[in-house]
């Protein structure tokens, strides 16, 4: 795996209550008073009618939508870095068998978050070479599906990582969600090995202290 330092890459409606029109005609009228029509004593003051609106209240709990992981993953916080609930949706890695070039992201490709992970395809073996431009946040992600016989996944890192600021992680990608980190069986600055399940989606994550570099 090659790593070279490069130049950083840029990235009420207001309703007014109005009275009815005023009758300015003070002359006599043939129209009976309101009370007379109703058979009651007339009055200079008409008693307001208490109008009861239909009950349209809604139980908030019933009105709440059960937001699925798919919808939650599209909710990003104001900074645009991490979804409000911490869940990212990852791309579908597809079913195309991965080759050597499948692990190389284009220089113009933004792979700095799980939802922008480089699509690898189906990995029937561990990669011999991995390359991408790291985002300004120091991250690069690859999403892949394991082949029918792959039980162990490993990467060799050259030059070695410089801990504690740099690392390589493998995450579960089941259901198209960037999931928990997989615990490695071997982890050194120069490489890592993880147990994996066949026909399963995983996300490889690189983090380097210097954003805008290429590995």
> What does the pLDDT average to over 185-200?
96
pLDDT at position 52 is 44
**92 pLDDT more than 90:** yes
Predicted confidence at residue 159, as pLDDT, reads: 79
What are the structural domains, with CATH classification, of the chain? 89-207 (2.60.40)
In this predicted structure, what is the pLDDT of residue 188?
A: 92
Task: Report pLDDT for 201.
Answer: 98
Which of 186, 183, 191, 139 shows the shortest CA–CA distance to 165?
A: 139
Q: Exposed (0-12), middle (13-18) or buried (19+): which is 144, by Cβ within 10 Å?
A: buried
Is pTM beyond 0.85? Reply is no
Section 117-134 average pLDDT: 95
Average pLDDT over residues 41-55: 44
Alpha helices in the chain (DSSP H): 34-37, 60-63, 69-72
Band (pLDDT 50/70/90 cuts) for residue 116 is very high
Mean pLDDT, to the nearest integer, of 134-154?
96
pLDDT band at 83 (very low <50, low <70, confident <90, very high): low
Residue 206 has pLDDT above 50, yes or no: yes
């Amino acid at each position: 795996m090659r790593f070279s330092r490069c130049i950083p890459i840029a990235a009420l409606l207001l309703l007014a209550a109005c009275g009815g029109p005023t009758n300015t005609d003070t002359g006599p009228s043939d129209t009976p008073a309101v009370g007379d029509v109703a058979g009651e004593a007339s009055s200079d003051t008409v008693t307001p009618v208490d109008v009861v609106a239909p009950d349209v209240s809604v139980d908030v709990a019933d009105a709440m939508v059960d937001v699925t992981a798919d919808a939650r993953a599209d909710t990003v916080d104001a900074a645009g870095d991490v979804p409000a609930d911490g869940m990212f949706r990852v791309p579908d890695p597809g079913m195309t068998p991965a080759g050597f070039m499948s692990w190389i992201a284009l220089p113009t490709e933004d792979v700095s978050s799980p939802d922008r992970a480089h699509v690898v395809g189906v990995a029937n073996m561990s990669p011999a070479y991995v390359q991408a431009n790291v985002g300004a946040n120091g991250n690069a992600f690859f999403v892949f599906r394991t082949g029918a016989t792959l039980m162990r996944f490993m990467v060799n890192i050259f030059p070695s990582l410089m801990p504690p600021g740099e690392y390589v992680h493998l995450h579960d990608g089941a259901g198209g969600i960037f999931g928990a980190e997989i615990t490695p069986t071997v982890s050194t600055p120069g490489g890592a090995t993880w147990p994996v399940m066949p026909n399963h989606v995983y996300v490889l994550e690189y983090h380097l202290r210097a954003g805008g570099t290429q590995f």
